[in-house]
Amino acid sequence: MIEIIKTKPYTDQKMGTAGLRKKTRIATQENYLENFLQSIFNTIPDLDKKSFLIGGDGRYYNKIAIQKIIKIAAANNVKKLYVGQNGLVSTPAGSHIILKNKLDGGFVLSASHNPGGLNGDFGIKYATSSGGQCQPSESEAIYNQTLAISEYKIADCPDIDLSHLTTLKCENTEIEIIDPYIDYIEMMKEIFDFPKLKKLATSGFRFVFDAMNGVTGPYGKRIFEQELGAPQGTVINASPLEDFGGLHPDPNLIYAKHLVDLMYSEAAPDFAAANDGDGDRNMILGQSFFVSPSDCLAILTDNYKLIPAYKNGIYGVAKSAATSMAVKRVADALNIGFYEVPTGWKYFIHLMDSNRITFCGEESFGAGASHIREKDGIWAVLFWLSIVADTRKSIKDITLEHWKKYGRSYYLRNDFEGIPQETADKLMADLEQKLPTLVGKTFNGFTVSEAEPFIYHDPVDHSSNKNGLVIRFTDGSRIVYRLSGTGTNGATLRTYIERYVTDKLLEDPEIMLRELSAAAHTISDVTARTGKTEPDIIT
């Protein structure tokens, strides 16, 4: 039986950088999820011929939300649903499942690196048949539906048992519970030299993979411990938990402090890595050493030949505008294409589909390649392990050699969080107005050479998107300002600071960037406007 339920629109269902992300208490309001799902289905024709993936990172409310999505999809006469066993699918594995099975899209229930639980966050990443998240024009169409919705459809089927690999039906919709790991692991085996990695993992090389109680625990156990033979216990925080065991599953120096402390202690293993809640972000650490995400992308690109899947050559490389210029220097040296896009993995999709790029990455702890259409945390870890297996060098030495060859972009991101949205919007609008007047001026010894909004022209669909403001200095330094599209608490102003040097390679970034950070502060007038004298978070 299909019920038609009357509902009223919510006005806040516009997707951000990566899907819809909300406080759990907001997402669990009456009909909130139902409205959003029905709005998506309203934009898709011929649902009786369409198949979708459903899964998530295991966070609170996922189990309830999955049952709702199944019943709403069935009521809308969707042909088939593939559902991850126990409701689990990592974002990268989900992208692969969509592409491999030629699905029409998918729903990964995750607020990514944001904490979970009733007092945490909930989210939905909606992917299309591209294997990646929907394009801005598609999310706009869905948003318009959410503003106009007056009813949704839901089937009256019993809840589905997600624990067994089986196929069932709800109305006309076939529901297949699938193994979320197997295809992803096979894909990793095709990309990397697993026998070589196994030699490293069983040679006394000590490493830790921290899944932060997110979805990559079971993936990590299977890949690092079972396939590669690393000792049991190599994967820590390995059980996906509804509240991530109280962790904030964001793999960075602040929220993965336990791992950072280990790597800066006497007991440090040779290598450590962490992934976020849904497995698309990564952090890489060596003994007393942290690899910044921007450097990570540059180093992986420079070492592409070590990986079987890329040894015959790669197309170009792309980064978000806010990411440091380190990878550009590698692209120039390798004579491959280089692209800069707005923040958001969706902007890389057309570049991959049109064979313009193979690798891409972002400052927000994301790196990936064209094997899928999302960033991929475990892929980045396997890539680093491959470099170590080949060179037998430490993470610090690999990075230092890179800097000696190319110079170093010191890089920091300063986040000012919880700003009232109107204050943040006004700050950005006023700053944009001011940009032309900055050219030629000197701040703390840095002279502005260019100052403009970042506008991206997609070479494939010819759409244009504005995202952030970029100030360039005569010595190659840059400051980028933008508002986050993933926060759930007011607005977050992100200020990205970058300074390029060819000497002084092993200094503290906070010291090297002190003057430039102060300049960024002055230019944005952030203290007068927000009352904040310091960033809330520096990464």
| Binder among 24, 139, 358, 364 for ligand G16 (CB under 6 A) | 364
Q: List Cβ neighbours of 427 (8 Å cut-off, separation of 6 or more).
A: 419, 493, 524, 525, 526, 529, 530
Rounded to a whole number of angstroms, the minimum distance from the CB of residue 422 to ligand G16 is: 18
Burial status of residue 489 (CB atoms within 10 A of its CB: 0-12, 13-18, 19 or more): exposed
Rounded to a whole number of angstroms, the minimum distance from the CB of residue 366 to ligand G16 is: 6
Task: Kindly tell me which of 84 and 279 has the beta carbon lying closer to ligand G16.
Answer: 279
Residue 238 CB: number of other CB atoms within 10 A? Answer: 20
Scanning 169-177, 309-317, 324-332, 359-367 for contacts with ligand G16 by CB under 6 A, the matching segment is 359-367
Q: List Cβ neighbours of 147 (8 Å cut-off, separation of 6 or more).
A: 9, 11
Q: Tell how strand 80-84 and strand 51-56 pair up.
A: parallel
CA distances from 503 to 256, 296, 402, 407, 507 (A): 30, 19, 13, 7, 10
Task: Kindly tell me which of 138 and 362 has the beta carbon lying closer to ligand G16.
Answer: 362
Site size with ligand G16, rule: CB under 6 A: 17
Q: Segment 297-356, which members bind ligand G16 (CB under 6 A)? A: 343-345
- Report which of 86, 187, 182, 140 is spatially closest to residue 346, judged by C-alpha positions: 140
Alpha helices for 338-445 (secondary structure H): 349-353, 377-391, 395-406, 421-438
Task: Kindly tell me which of 124 and 197 has the beta carbon lying closer to ligand G16.
Answer: 124
Q: From residue 484 to residue 513, what is the string marking binding to ligand G16 with x (rule CB under 6 A)?
A: xxx-------x-------------------
Task: Kindly tell me which of 80 and 281 has the beta carbon lying closer to ligand G16.
Answer: 281
The residue to which tokens 């126990």 are assigned: 86
Catalytic: which of 95, 112, 292, 524?
112
Q: From residue 448 to residue 487, what is the string marking binding to ligand G16 with x (rule CB under 6 A)?
A: ------------------------------------xxx-
- Report which of 417, 449, 419, 451 is spatially closest to residue 432, judged by C-alpha positions: 451
- Does 248 bind ligand G16 (CB under 6 A)? Our answer is no
Rounded to a whole number of angstroms, the minimum distance from the CB of residue 9 to ligand G16 is: 25
Rounded to a whole number of angstroms, the minimum distance from the CB of residue 323 to ligand G16 is: 9
Rounded to a whole number of angstroms, the minimum distance from the CB of residue 325 to ligand G16 is: 17
Rounded to a whole number of angstroms, the minimum distance from the CB of residue 525 to ligand G16 is: 21
- Does 17 bind ligand G16 (CB under 6 A)? Our answer is yes
Task: Kindly tell me which of 157 and 318 has the beta carbon lying closer to ligand G16.
Answer: 318
Please report how the helices 194-201 and 377-391 are oriented relative to each other, as an axis angle in degrees rounded to 10.
Answer: 70
- Does 280 bind ligand G16 (CB under 6 A)? Our answer is yes
The amino acid that residue 398 corresponds to is: I
In three-state secondary structure terms, 173 is strand
Check if the beta carbon of residue 112 is closer than 8 Å to that of residue 18.
yes
Check if the beta carbon of residue 284 is closer than 8 Å to that of residue 303.
no
Question: Could you give the CA distance from residue 402 to residue 398 in angstroms, rounded to a whole number?
Answer: 6
CA distances from 332 to 317, 323, 329, 339, 456 (A): 10, 16, 5, 11, 20
- Does 362 bind ligand G16 (CB under 6 A)? Our answer is yes
Rounded to a whole number of angstroms, the minimum distance from the CB of residue 77 to ligand G16 is: 30
Question: Could you give the CA distance from residue 377 to residue 268 in angstroms, rounded to a whole number?
Answer: 21
CA distances from 109 to 37, 62, 91, 250, 515 (A): 12, 6, 9, 16, 41
- Does 59 bind ligand G16 (CB under 6 A)? Our answer is no
Rounded to a whole number of angstroms, the minimum distance from the CB of residue 176 to ligand G16 is: 26
The residue to which tokens 């909130």 are assigned: 32
Task: Kindly tell me which of 16 and 229 has the beta carbon lying closer to ligand G16.
Answer: 16
For the question of residue 409 being annotated catalytic, the response is no
Task: Kindly tell me which of 160 and 480 has the beta carbon lying closer to ligand G16.
Answer: 480
Task: Kindly tell me which of 416 and 443 has the beta carbon lying closer to ligand G16.
Answer: 416
Q: From residue 75 to residue 114, what is the string marking binding to ligand G16 with x (rule CB under 6 A)?
A: -------------------------------------xx-
Contact positions vs ligand G16 (CB under 6 A): 17-18, 112-113, 276, 280-281, 343-345, 362, 364, 366, 484-486, 494
Could you give the residue numbers annotated as active site? 112
